[in-house]
Amino acid sequence: MTEPILRALSMAFAMGWEILWPLILGFALSAVVQAVVSHREMARLLPDDRPRSIATALALGAASSSCSYAAVALARALFRKGANFTAAMAFEMASTNLVAELSIIMLAFLGWQLTLAEFVGAPIMVALLVLLFHRFLTRELLEEAKAQADRGIAGRMEGHAEMDMSVTEGTMWQRITSEKGLTAISHYFVMDWAAVWLDIVGGLLIAGALAAWVPPGFWESFFLVDHPLLAKLWGPAVGPLVAVISFVCSVGNIPLAAVLWNGGISFGGVVAFIFADLIVLPILNIYRKYYRLRMAAFLFVTFYAAMAGAALIVELIFGAVGLVPEQRNARVVEASITWNYTTWLNVAFIILAGLLVWRFLKTGGPAMLRMMNRPPATAHSH
């Protein structure tokens, strides 16, 4: 019994070591973007669900934190401040599917084709969601959700979602290099890590366990590998459902996506699985608290349909132009640390992370960290 557990842990550690420097780089880039993009005008920029507002929601989401819980909390905050509900949900989807750290981790684990598929598919998914909302979202359901949202029931990462430390004075370079800008970068960097580390560790542990314990034959049977046409339809349909019960969201689901890809899930199935971090069970429960049960059920059904539909469209597009990889060589590695380029890059980026953490500790960061899970009323802008 001990040996299988150690093997799973060693594989989880190996995958974590492999992606350590891309994670640090991704969160550092995200922190820089958040430090120069203000949250204050977001609600004003999302007044309706017209194409311009939806495009703005995608851009704002891409510049936000990748933490799924923070994205969900901020989307509700925008809705309460007057943003259109559909645009707020588009922002939420972009926050977890178009951010820098996601693309870097996907490149490290899954390769450029699946990374490109994610960024092609995310706008398609949002477009499908807008169409579904236009057709099925009733005024009664929306008013019921707004009344519930205005009650301000706490979910998770409320304080993190409400904090706005962005610098808006001067040129972009001046904002980044100013004392205030460097402090904001360090604070966003540490708080984003604090928000998602459990998801990252959970994703690595689940991926390590599945890679070590589940025989390849199970995945091949489950994903209908011997029936190529059915597999293309089955993958996008089942991918989100696997995500729902995995409990892992944000960038933490990428290691598990690598295991599923190597196991035989279709190209579109991987994309659908990665899309589905906004309908995992803990977040569905938060929707229930934020918007009541009926809206939570509506969001699950429409999100699922948009995710599966977009993934299938991506599968068809990439298959037609020959961009679906023939070899399944996602980085699921054995435990070993050697003095190669990964180790040197990890050392360099650990030093960078240490400098950011040092500045965070020296500039009142711990006090702000304690406010991450407080209700919005006690976590004002800084």
The pLDDT of residue 202 is 81
Mean pLDDT split into 10-residue runs, the chain, 382 residues:
79 79 81 73 84 93 77 86 93 88 84 94 97 96 94 66 70 85 90 79 80 81 89 94 77 83 92 92 90 96 97 96 84 58 88 95 84 55 44
Burial 205-225 (b: 16+ CB within 10 A, else e): bbbbbbbbeeeeeebeebbbb
Say if residues 21 and 345 touch (Cβ distance below 8 Å): yes
What is residue 382's predicted lDDT score, i.e. its pLDDT? 44
- The Cα 371–Cα 375 span in angstroms is 8
* pLDDT for 1: 63
CA 97 to chain CA centroid, Å, is: 6
- Give the closest residue to 330 by CA, choosing from 120, 121, 113: 113
Burial 165-177 (b: 16+ CB within 10 A, else e): bbbeeeeeeebbe
What is the predicted pLDDT for the residue at 245?
A: 79
Q: Give residues with Cβ within 8 angstroms of 230, minimum separation 6.
A: 224
| Helical spans, DSSP H, in the chain | 2-18, 20-36, 42-45, 51-62, 68-80, 85-97, 100-110, 112-136, 139-149, 158-162, 172-177, 179-213, 216-222, 228-246, 254-263, 267-275, 281-291, 293-320, 341-362, 365-369
Give the integer Cα–Cα distance in Å for 194 and 82.
29
User: For residue 267, what pLDDT is reported?
Assistant: 95
Record the tokens describing residue 203, joined without a space. Answer: 């994703």
